[in-house]
Amino acid sequence: MTTDQTTRFAAGHQAGGPRRARALEGLALRSREPQFRLQLTLALLFAFFVGAFAHVVEDYLDREELTRWAVELSRWLHLHANDTLTAFFKVVTWAGNVAVLALVTAAIAAYFVRRARLNEAIFVLLSAAGIELLNAVLKLVFHRPRPEFAYVHLDTYSFPSGHATGATAIYGVAVYLLVRDRANRARVGAAAAFVALIVLVSFSRLYLEAHYLSDVLAGCSLGAAWACATLFVYESGSRFDAARLAPRSVRSMLARLAPGD
């Protein structure tokens, strides 16, 4: 390296110091912003749930301990089932049925449209359609047969659980949007109700022997990862904006439908 090149390199290195300092300072300032923290949390949760899903998939493909234990659990539940709990879980499991989820999605979208929140309405519809399509594709990819002693006859494959996947993703997105701007007490209550519902729906699939434990765990992980990913998109930048795609007449109609202050 010549003397001139060395001088230019040193000058560039010295100039880069202030730039890096400003960049770090800007990052530190941004890290204090609630929006940035929210996006970071969603990104970290997405990575966690993707990792959990991948772990269950690996266990299933390699027939490792979780998969073997799931089969034994299915047999144990079959031997210890009783009619009262079976009837109860046959009702509970409807909360994750694709037809019920479609009705819930449509009702929530209508709720948002009624309040002139077209972005949220379209976002809910797209998120729900996306997770159901993804789950259907994954079932075909893994083509795992249903448990041997299922209480209901189903022609679809078992892995991952569609009930667990759809319920986690769709209810998760819906609850988030409905309580996003509410008080902390409402958020905590909604989150607790959401977790309780997912646990009940997931266990109903095990108790009715429509799925193995690994199917349900994979479904919950997949649904949670999808919810985090779509909500990250919703919260990114200036947020998801579908209203600009709607004709002016539609936007005017929505404005008239919105309740007054």
* 3-state secondary structure labels for all residues of the chain: CCHHHHHHHHHHHHHHHHHHHHHHHHHHHHCCCHHHHHHHHHHHHHHHHHHHHHHHHHHHHHCCHHHHHHHHHHHHHHHHCCHHHHHHHHHHHHHHCHHHHHHHHHHHHHHHHHCCCHHHHHHHHHHHHHHHHHHHHHHHHHCCCCCCCCCCCCCCCCCCCHHHHHHHHHHHHHHHHHHCCCCHHHHHHHHHHHHHHHHHHHHHHHHCCCCCHHHHHHHHHHHHHHHHHHHHHHHCCCCCCCHHHCCHHHHHHHHHHCCCC
Of 86, 195, 235, nearest to 149 by C-alpha is 86
Higher pLDDT, 164 or 39: 164
Mean pLDDT in the chain? 78
Taking a C-beta distance cutoff of 8 angstroms, is the pair 223, 162 a contact? no
Distance of CA 130 to the CA centre of its chain: 11
pLDDT classification of 68: cutoffs 50, 70, 90: low
Higher pLDDT: 102 or 29? It is 102
Among 25-29, 30-34, 87-91, 184-188, the range scoring the smallest mean pLDDT is 25-29
> Which pLDDT belongs to residue 210?
81
Residue for token digits 């560039």? 12
